[in-house]
Each structure stands twice: as structure tokens, then as C-alpha cells.
Amino acid sequence: MVVRLKLLAATALLLAACATTPPPLSFEQVIQQSPFDKAIWVIHVEEDDGRVLVSRNADTLVMPASNRKLFTSATVASCLGPDSQLHTEVFRDGDDLILRGDGDPSLGSWRYERDGDFDRLAELLLSRGVTRVRDIVVDVSAFDRVTFPGGWKHGNLGSDYAAPVDAIAWGENELPGDRATPDPALHAGNALRDALALRGIIVGGVRVNTEPRTWGEKLADLPSPFVGQLLGTVLKNSHNLYAEMLLKHIAGGTYDGAFERERLFLTSELGLDGSTFRFVDGSGLAPDDLMTARAAIGVLRWMNEPSRRELWWRTLATPNQDGTLRRRLIALESRVRGKTGTINGVAALSGILSMPGGRFRYFSIVVNHHTGEGSDAVKIIDSIVQSIS
């Protein structure tokens, strides 16, 4: 049964233009106000014991935007383990220097203070007497050549939030002006060449290798942070490249294999109905991705199991802290963990709400096909969360 929920006066003020003292509104009244009255609203709230407090279109498939990353993150954590690491390896093969990627999205990233990775590698090579390199060979054979997920819109390509997905990334594949490099392997190889040249190491060219092979002497290993930390960037910061690279990594660098492993995990371990989700990328940028609110809550319940709760309460977005909830739901900082989602015409927030007595409440709120301002949609969603808290 749908219960009527009181919203804060702030929401009423936002959506009732020219009214000075609007009356409290139920969420049904708010979502029926123009221009959101023609949109598809999905709202589902459950208690720990499974009792449903609110349910509107809970089994309707809708575009999740970055709520898709909940499913990705759960799958990656299960397949790799949160304490595992990815490894970019460096080899000397004849006169060539080999940089072999393993799907680590954090190489050279300022987020993890790794923008000096190649500087430290250059110093290591100097200490080992390396003064000349014929070519830098960037080995990306760990991934296939599908560098853009199916379903991404052409207009997104080239933006920093739609960077190519390969076995190696440097500086999150970003270029100045919110752009993405068109070739992650060459981008990384050129960055390494620059670091070597600054230290007087002579380098010929940069080449890319896409076929698996055995290299010569291993010189160095550049480990990533723990996977659990990387998933914090996926969920808190909603970083698309991290989600895509980690997802491909779980299945030998192919999307088809990754989707197969994910579907098996979600249906067997979480018990989700396979008809309640469909994904064509790892991040939610594709408008062809679909989920139900009930499926999202199924993932959140799995995350909030006592044995996993500590990890995911650190990893999900937190109000008033870094990430996509930093300016939202401030009063609920200690009580809410969630995942946001926004693409054109879509806004979403699914999460966990801590309740008195050690209980928890789970919610998923998604609006699709709206023509309003995204910020207005977000304020409505946040008001609904406040009203169930």
C-alpha cells in the first residue's frame, strides 16, 4: 500500500512558484506538478523485514543512469575481492621497455597521489643503469579491442566522462578541456616517454601491442590501491572509467564475458530475477541500460549484510562528504549511504537509511523521461528521502 508522506516546506517552496506559505505536500502531489507530471516515477521503500512502505512502479524497467554502478560494484567486489590489487608491469625485452596494463584505472591518477608513478619508475630505471630505450611498447593485450561499450551515444564520445576503455589508463585518460584521449595506450606511452626524457633517458618511439605474448626481464610492478578503494571512486565519485575497466577486468577483458559473469552472480548469489535488469555498459551512461527499483534494493540488501556492511558504508556516497552527495541530505550524513544517477531526462537515488534500534530502511527513487531541470528533480528526490527518514 502506498502511504502518504509529508514533505519538507523547502520542497513546497521550490515547486510552488509565487506561493509564500505553501501547505505541506505529499510526494504524490509533488511528482504530479509540471513538468514532472508527464515523467515516469519509480519509488520503492522497504523495511529490513521486507515490509513495503511505499511502492510505485517498483517492477517497471527504467533507465538507472549511474545507479547501474551498484550492480557493477557488487559484481567486481565478489569476483575480485575488495582486498585484491591490479598490477601494471614493466619489462625489459631486448632494447625495448614494455609497459603491460592490467585494467588499473588509477595509474597516474591524482585521486590516489599517483600522478608521479612514471617519475618514480624513471628513477628506478636510472638506478638500474638504463640510459637508452629503443621503443616503449604499451601492451594492452589483457583487454579486447572493444574500447567503447555498446549503447553509448555518439555525442558523448570524446568527453572525459566517456573515455575509451582499454587495459591501461594514464591520468584517467583525461586531456585538458574536459576531453578524453582517443588512444589510452599511446597516451600512457607518451607520458612514460616524457618522464624518461626528463631524466636523460633516450627513447626512440612508442608502440602498442595488442596480442598476448611473453616478455623478457621484469623490472617493476606498479600496483593499484585495493579494489575496495577503487570502488569508492566508482560509487562516491560515480566515475565511469573506473566502473568500465574494473568490470571488463573480471572476465579477461571482454564485455560479453563480464556481463555473463555479472548476470550469474546477480541471479544466483543475490537471487535477482534476470528479467529485472539489462545492462550494455558498466557505468550507466548508456540509455539502453535498464533496472527495476526492486532489483536495486536487492543489491543494497546484499551490500548491507552484517559481514559486508562496513565495506559498503565506507564505499557508498555519503552526504556532506566527498562525492556526489556532498551537498545533499546534509542532515542525514550519519544515516544515509547511497548511489546517485543523472543523465539527460533521468535522475535517481537508491540507498540505505539507518533507523533507530539498529534497523535499516532501503529505498530506490528514479524519474525517467522528465523535461525539467535536473536540479529540481534532485530536490524532489531528496525531499522524498527526508520524508521517509
Domain boundaries, the chain: 9-81+230-387, 87-225
Instruction: Please give the pLDDT value at position 150.
Output: 85
pLDDT at 15: 42
| CA dist., res. 112 & res. 72, Å (int) | 21
Among candidate residues 93, 174, 178, 181, the one with its CA nearest the CA of residue 138: 93
CATH class for the region spanning 87-225: alpha beta
CB count within 10 Å of CB 56 equals 17
> Per-residue pLDDT tens for 41-82?
999 999 999 999 999 999 999 999 999 999 999 999 999 999
Candidates 64, 112, 89, 107; CA nearest to 292 is 64
Backbone angles phi, psi at 93, to 5 degrees: -125, 100
Q: Provide the pLDDT confidence category of residue 169 given band limits of 50, 70 and 90.
A: very high
Joined grid coordinates for residue 72: 557493477
pLDDT digits (tens, 9 = 90+) for 251-310: 999 999 999 999 999 999 999 999 999 999 999 999 999 999 999 999 999 999 999 999
pLDDT of residue 9: 39
- Residue range 179-194, pLDDT digits in tens: 999 999 999 999 999 9
Which cell is 252 given? 579477461
pLDDT at 235: 98
DSSP alpha helix (H) spans, the chain: 9-15, 27-31, 68-80, 117-127, 184-198, 227-235, 240-249, 255-268, 293-303, 306-315, 374-387
C-alpha of 349 from chain center:
14
- 10-19, 95-104, 217-226: segment of lowest average pLDDT: 10-19
Q: Are strands 336-343 and 132-139 parallel, antiparallel or unpaired?
A: unpaired
What single string gives the DSSP state of each residue in 269-291?
TS---GGGEE-SSSSS-STT-EE
Average pLDDT of the chain? 93
Kindly state the cell numbers that stand for 193: 616517454
Q: Residue 120: CB partners within 8 Å, gap ≥ 6? A: none
Q: Which of 321, 313, 386 has its CA nearest to residue 349? A: 386
Q: pLDDT value at position 203?
A: 97
The cell numbers describing 296, all together, are 536495486
> What CA dihedral angle connects 301, 302, 303 and 304, to 10 degrees?
50
Lowest mean pLDDT among 27-31, 140-144, 261-265: 27-31
228, pLDDT greater than 70: yes
Instruction: Domain 9-81+230-387: state its class.
Output: alpha beta
Give backbone dihedrals phi and psi of 303, rounded to 5 degrees, phi first: -65, -35
Assign 64 to helix, strand or coil. coil
